[in-house]
Structure 1
Amino acid sequence: MSAPLQLQVADVQERIDRIVHQLQHLKSDRNEDGIPIGIISMENWEWPQGVALFSLYLYYKESGKPELLDFLTSWFDRHLAAGTVPEKNINTMCPMLTLSFLVEETGREDFRELCLEWLDYAMNELPRTEEGGFQHIVSGRTNEGELWDDTLYMTVLFTARMGVLLGRDDCVQESVRQFLVHLKYLTDPVTGLFFHGWSFADKSYYAGALWGRGNAWYTAGLVDYLDIVDLPLGVKQFLLGSLERQAKTLSALQADSGLWHTLLTDPTTYEETSATAAFAYGILKAVRLGYLPEIYAAVGWKAAQGVMGQIDENGTVQGVSYGTGLGRDLDYYRGIPVCPMPYGQSMTLLMLVECLKHRS
C-alpha cells in the first residue's frame, strides 16, 4: 500500500518537527476561570498533558531523538521536585502510562515507586460502578456511577501496561474487564459507535451523544492497547470486531473535507480535528497491522489529508475542541469552544508518523 501523492511529496518531517516544538511549548491563551484544572499548558499535570507525553514517547521510540527522552524525564522531575503531583483520579492517571515506559528507559526507582503507588490506587481504591467498571472520577467531580469512553485511554492502558511491566496477570485481566464492561454499556447497537457515557445511577446516556473525540479514544487507544498486551484470541477478535463496525460507520459519516463532525451523526456540528487525527491514526495503523481490511485505508488517508490542512505555518493544529465533560443535552457539545490543545498536537503527531510508515 502506498500513500497518496499529496502526502508522498509533502515534507512530512518538517511538519512533525513544528508540531513537536509547539506541543512542548503550548501555553494557555484563554480564560479558564471556573475550571478546577489547567488543561492547556504543558506545564500542568492532567489528561491532555498525559496524551501529549505518550505521543512524544512513541515518537521518541520511532526517532531515537535523545532530546525527547530528556524532555519527558524533565517533565516528571519538575513535578516531583515541586510537589505538584496531583490527587489521583481517572484523568490525572493518564501521564502515568508514559512514566511506566520511562521506568524501563531510565531504570529509576523513584519512577517505579510512583507507578506502583498509582497502580495500587487503580486496582484497589478507584471507585467502581456496577459490574466493576472504573468510575470516571475526575478533578472536581466524582461522577458517581458513571462510565465514560475516555476512561479506556486515560487509565486502562496504564493498568494493562503495568501488568506487563510487573508480570502481573491480574492487572492485564482487569484491563480486559474494563474494555468489555465499557463496550457493553457504551456501544450504540444501531450504529456501532460509542456513547460518551452511561450512568448507572440515572440509567441514562444523558444526551445520548455519539461524540467524535470520545469515539476516537477507542480507535486510537485500541491499536496501542494491542501493542501493550497479548490478549486471548477471543477477546482480541471481539475488540477488533467493534473497531471494524465503528470504522464502517465512520466511513459513511466522513465529511468531504476528510474530517468528522464533533457529534458524529450531526452534520450541523462543527468539524473537529483532534478526533479526526485520532481516527486517521487508529485506522491507518489498524490497516497496516492487518486489524482492518485494506478498504479502510482510503478513509484514513482522506482524514490525514484533512488534518494536514489544519496545521498552520507555526505547527499549531487548529480546529480542536476544548475539554468536554459528559453533557446532558446535545447543545452542550455544539457549544464547546475551539482552541489549540495538547491532544490535538499529539494525535496529529502520531498520525503523521503513521503516514511515514506507510510511505516507506
Structure 2
Amino acid sequence: MTDRAPNFIDDEQLVERVKRALLSMQRFSWEQGVAAQAMLESGDSELAILLARDAVVRQDASGKLGVMNDGYSVTDSAANGEAVAYAAKLTGDPMFVQAEASMLAWLLHQAPRTEEGILHHVVDKPQVWIDSFYMAPPFLAVCGYYKEAVKQIDGYWKLLWDPEARLFSHIWDDGAKSFVRKAHWGVGNGWAAAGMVRVLDSLPASMKVERNRISGYLLETIDGCLLHMREDGLFHDVMDDAETFVETNAAQMLSYTIYRAIGMGLLGDGYTRYADDMRRAARGRVDSNGLVQGSCAAPFFDRPGTAPESQAFFMLMESAARSLALISANRAGEAGASTENGKGGES
C-alpha cells in the first residue's frame, strides 16, 4: 500500500508503526545495525539487545557481525557494534564481550585498507565508499579508539569530499585513483553527516583540535546539502541532479543530524527550522502500514520505494527531535531560574 497514513492518535503510535515495519524488513548487517541503533536511541534497550544477540549469532569467522550473504563488505557489519558493545557493558555476558572484541579485531588488524590506512568498503576491490563513514567510525569511537575513528573520517573526507560541489561523492577506487561513482548521492551524504555527529558525541573534550576539525567537516556537509533542499523539505536522490527522483531518507538523516548537533552545541538554533521542515516532509510520506515511502529503495537503491535504513532513520529523527525539545526546555528553565535568582539577589 502507498496511501498516506491516517490521522494517528499521537506521535508514539506513528513511531510504533514505523518500528513494526522496520522489524519486518531488516535483513543485512547494516540494516540490523542501524535498526539496533534506532532502538537504543528510542529507549527500547531490550529490543536493541535482542538485535545485538542475533548479530552475534550471525558473526562470521573473521569477526564481522550479523553477516548473511553480505560478507563481501568490510565495514557494514560494524554498524552492529554499538549495540553489541552496549549489551556487553550492560550484561557482562562473555558472548557479547568476545563478539565486540572480534569485531574490533577485524577493523583494526585484518580489514583491507588503502596505503594511508583508510578502510575499504568491499573485500575484493580497493574501493572507499561514503557508506563507511557511518558504519565503522562511530563504533571505533564508542569503544575508545578515538584516534582511529578520527583517522577514518579524515581519510574519507580527503578522498570523497568535492569542494566545488560542496558535497560528497559516492565511490572512490584507490587502485585506479579515480571515482567509480562521482555522483553526489543524497543518502550517502546523509550517512556521512550522521556518522560524524555520532563520532563527535563520543570523542572526549580533551581532543579539542580533532573535535573542531570534524565539527568543521560536519558544518560544511550540512550547509552544502541545504543548498539543494527543495521547497517541500526533501532532496533529489542525487542532490544536485534534479533529473533524479525525489527521495525521503536523506531528509531524515540530515534532520536527525541537525537535531543532534544543535543539542550538542555544534550548530545554532537557526538550523532547527531546516530540520523541522525535513521532518514534516518525511512524516507526510509514512503510509498506513508505517512504511516510509519514496526512499532510496532496498535492495538495489536505484528507485524510490522503502528501505530498512529509512525506517530506522525515521525513528532516529523522531528520537533526536524529542531529545532536543527536552534540552531546549531544560535550558529555558535554567535561564528562567537564573533570572529569578538574579532578581531576588537585587531586592
TM-score normalised by L of structure 1: 0.79
Output the amino acid matched with 1:283: I
Q: CA deviation at 1:52?
A: 1.3
Residue 35 of structure 1 corresponds to: none
Query: Which residue in the other structure is 1:75 paired with?
Result: 54
Equivalent residue in structure 1 for 2:229, among 232, 237, 254:
254
Matched, 1:123 2:122: no
Cα deviation digits, residues 249-291 of structure 1 (max 9, x gap): 2222101110111101111211211211101100122122221
Corresponding residue for residue 291 of structure 1 = 266
Q: Which moved more, 1:90-99 or 1:233-242?
A: 90-99
Show CA shifts across 1:121-153 (max 9, x none).
111111111211111125xxx222x22111121
**CA shift in 2, pair 1:126/1:338, >3 Å:** same
Shift of 1:304: 0.5
Write the letter of the residue equivalent to 1:158: F
Name structure 2 gaps, 5 residues minimum: 1-7, 60-64, 327-347
The whole-number CA distance in structure 2 between the counterparts of 1:289 and 1:93 is 24
Q: Deviation at 1:323?
A: 4.8
Deviations 1:95-119 (A, max 9, x none): 2221111111221111110111121
Structure 1, unmatched stretches of 5+, are: 1-8, 27-41, 165-170, 326-332
Decide whether the 8 Å contact of 2:149 with 2:199 is kept in 1. no
- Select the structure of larger CA radius of gyration: 2
Cα 1:21–1:186 change in 2 (3 A) is same
Going from structure 1 to structure 2, the CA distance change for 1:66 and 1:183 (only over 3 Å counts) comes to closer
1-side partners of 2:67 and 2:128: how far apart? 25
User: 5 Å matches for 1:196-345?
Assistant: 196-230=170-204, 232-323=207-298, 336-345=302-311
Residue type of the alignment partner of 1:143: K
- Looking at structure 1, the residues matched to 45 and 105 of structure 2 have their Cα atoms a distance apart, in angstroms, of 31
Number of aligned residue pairs: give it.
Answer: 311
1:321, 1:20 → 2: CA distance? 18
Tell me the amino acid that sits aligned with residue 52 of structure 1: A
How far off its partner does 1:303 sit? 0.5
Structure 2: distance between partners of 1:122 and 1:76: 16
What's the Cα RMSD here?
A: 2.5
Question: Structure 1 residues 12 and 84 mapped into 2: Cα distance closer, same or farther (>3 Å)?
Answer: closer
Q: Per-residue deviation at 1:10?
A: 7.9
Give the drift of 1:191: 3.0
8 A Cα contact 1:57 1:72, kept in partner: no
After TM superposition, the structure 1 stretch with the greater mean CA deviation from structure 2, 191-200 or 299-308, is 191-200
Q: CA separation in 2, counterparts of 1:67 and 1:134? A: 31
Amino acid at match of 2:125: N
Residue among 89, 94, 97 paired with 1:112: 97
Question: Distance between the aligned counterparts of 1:92 and 1:74, measured in 2?
Answer: 13
Q: Percent identity of the aligned residues?
A: 26
